[in-house]
């Protein structure tokens, strides 16, 4: 039995669909699972034990290069080959989990007898499905999107006349090469809150496109990670997250793409102060290149208020695979509604607290028993909008840091 999962992007959405691959593998022993994805999210499904094959859709590149006549012939040839191979694969069923016109057209282009997905989604995408699952209001606030995706998997198996057992939710993540752990160990040892564009101290060595500072001619020494003096009260508090007495890694993920998902820098600084006072910890900031400036400001703000607190700023220095390793070394992750937050939840290792504004906390929040979300309950929430119609983003600017801190304490 051959299945194709169509979930092209974004990172958080792909993570929320990962349990579907794991479910199919367990529910239909011997089946093969292929994932159709765009390049930006391919790292999550490549070298993944629940996924047999990954197909990259390069449509964005083809569209981007329409203005380059020299690329037309090459891209036309690539597209023709892509669709020919998609159809030649002869999938028994396609699970279209994106709910957009582009993804539905791709799913239908496979020629599969069963193309299952959600009824009543955007852009009339459901019109290209052969089998539509009515889940009520797909954009409703009360059902986690992870569970909605799994409903499509159950539905597809039922359509095929196969048993659709209820199974525990499992996030299958990529297998990590040992070099990833070595790199992350080096980062946690040697990284510091440097100004944007300035390398941490020490000799720089290149690892992919990331510059990692490690001592020359030496392997990372885990024993060299600085210690934080712990009081009895701090040790007792830290035990909520770990059985080991001593500094714990607390990860902060302030950045995301929508303005209406971003908690103000001043709130993150206040939260950092509270965490520093409560726990013997390393505060570690992570994010992409777009967050370099804002995360540096947050790190500098925490250090200014708590000069003795260890703050490591890894912004722009970690890939998705690196983050998996980072999260597995952490006790607590606090972040905005962004892909890395959901990746932290998918690892199942740290406690995870999501700070939510414009998006529905129960539907889109980090999934798992070790996760919770913090949000206000304004009449305008959730608005699903990238901009605030009132111009205030009050759902986040009015969210006090003490509320987020208390949520972490309660875990």
Contact predicate 337/353, CB 8 Å: no
pLDDT exceeding 90 applies to what percent of the chain?
81
- Averaged over 113-129, what is the pLDDT? 94
Confidence of residue 20 (pLDDT cuts 50, 70, 90): very high
- Please indicate, yes or no, whether residues 144 and 202 belong to a single structural domain of this protein: no
Please report, for the domain that includes residue 45, its CATH number: 3.40.50.2000
Supply the pLDDT for residue 246. Answer: 57
Structural domain includes residue 94? yes
- Please indicate, yes or no, whether residues 273 and 314 belong to a single structural domain of this protein: yes
Give the domain range for residue 386: 178-409
Distance from C-alpha of 293 to C-alpha of 278, rounded to nearest angstrom: 27
Distance from C-alpha of 108 to C-alpha of 211, rounded to nearest angstrom: 43
DSSP assignment of 177-200: PHHHHHHHHHHHHH---PPTT-PP
Give the mean pLDDT of the chain.
88
- Please indicate, yes or no, whether residues 153 and 247 belong to a single structural domain of this protein: no
Supply the pLDDT for residue 377. Answer: 95
Three-class SS state of 153:
helix
- Please indicate, yes or no, whether residues 137 and 196 belong to a single structural domain of this protein: no
Distance from C-alpha of 81 to C-alpha of 302, rounded to nearest angstrom: 53
* Both tokens assigned to 293: 């400036």
Supply the pLDDT for residue 122. Answer: 85
- Please indicate, yes or no, whether residues 222 and 104 belong to a single structural domain of this protein: no
Q: Which of 148-152, 229-233, 394-398 has the lowest mean pLDDT?
A: 229-233
Structural domain includes residue 165? no
Give residue-wise pLDDT tens across range 72-87.
Answer: 999 999 999 999 999 9
Specify the pairing of strand 93-96 against strand 2-6. Answer: parallel
Three-class SS state of 119:
coil
Give residue-wise pLDDT tens across range 261-318.
Answer: 999 999 999 999 999 999 999 999 999 999 999 999 999 999 999 999 999 999 999 9
Instruction: Give the distance between the most distant pair of CA atoms in the chain.
Output: 69
Name the pTM for this structure: 0.86
Distance from C-alpha of 56 to C-alpha of 220, rounded to nearest angstrom: 35
- Domain final residue, candidates 127, 159, 191: 159
* Both tokens assigned to 315: 């912004």
Distance from C-alpha of 279 to C-alpha of 236, rounded to nearest angstrom: 9
Distance from C-alpha of 139 to C-alpha of 368, rounded to nearest angstrom: 20
Identify which has the larger pLDDT, 195 or 47: 47
């Amino acid at each position: 039995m051959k299945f194709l999962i169509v979930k092209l992007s974004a990172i958080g959405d792909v993570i929320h669909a990962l349990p579907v691959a794991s479910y199919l593998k367990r529910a239909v022993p011997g089946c093969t699972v292929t994932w159709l994805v765009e390049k930006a999210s391919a790292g999550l499904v490549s070298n993944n034990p629940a996924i047999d094959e990954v197909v990259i859709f390069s449509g964005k590149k083809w569209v981007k290069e329409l203005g380059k006549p020299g690329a037309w012939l090459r891209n036309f040839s690539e597209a023709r080959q892509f669709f020919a191979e998609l159809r030649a694969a002869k999938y028994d069923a396609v699970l279209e989990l994106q709910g957009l016109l582009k993804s539905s057209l791709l799913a239908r282009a496979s020629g599969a007898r069963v193309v299952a997905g959600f009824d009543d989604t955007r852009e009339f995408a459901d019109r290209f499905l052969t089998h539509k699952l009515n889940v009520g209001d797909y954009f409703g606030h009360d059902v986690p999107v992870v569970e909605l995706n799994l409903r499509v998997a159950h539905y597809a198996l039922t359509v095929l006349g196969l048993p659709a057992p209820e199974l525990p939710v499992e996030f299958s993540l990529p297998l990590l090469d040992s070099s990833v752990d070595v790199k992350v160990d080096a980062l946690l040892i040697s990284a510091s809150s440097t100004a944007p564009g300035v390398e941490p101290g020490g000799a720089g060595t290149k690892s992919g496109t990331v510059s990692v500072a490690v001592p020359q001619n030496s392997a990372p020494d885990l024993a060299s990670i600085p210690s934080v003096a712990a009081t009895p009260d701090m040790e007792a508090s830290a035990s909520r997250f770990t059985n080991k007495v001593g500094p714990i890694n607390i990860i902060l993920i302030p950045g995301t793409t929508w303005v209406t998902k971003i908690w103000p820098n001043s709130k993150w600084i206040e939260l950092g102060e509270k965490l520093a006072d409560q726990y013997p910890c390393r505060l570690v900031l992570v994010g992409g290149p777009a967050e370099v400036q804002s995360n540096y400001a947050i790190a500098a703000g925490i250090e200014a208020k708590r000069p003795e607190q260890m703050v490591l700023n890894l912004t722009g220095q970690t890939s998705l695979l690196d983050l998996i390793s980072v999260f597995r070394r952490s006790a607590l992750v606090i972040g905005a509604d962004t892909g890395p937050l959901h990746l932290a939840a998918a690892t199942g290792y740290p406690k995870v607290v999501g700070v939510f504004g414009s998006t529905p906390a129960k539907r889109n929040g980090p999934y798992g028993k070790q996760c919770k979300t913090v949000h206000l309950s304004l009449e305008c929430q959730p608005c699903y909008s990238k901009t605030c119609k009132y111009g205030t983003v009050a759902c986040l600017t009015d969210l006090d840091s003490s509320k987020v801190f208390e949520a972490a304490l309660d875990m």
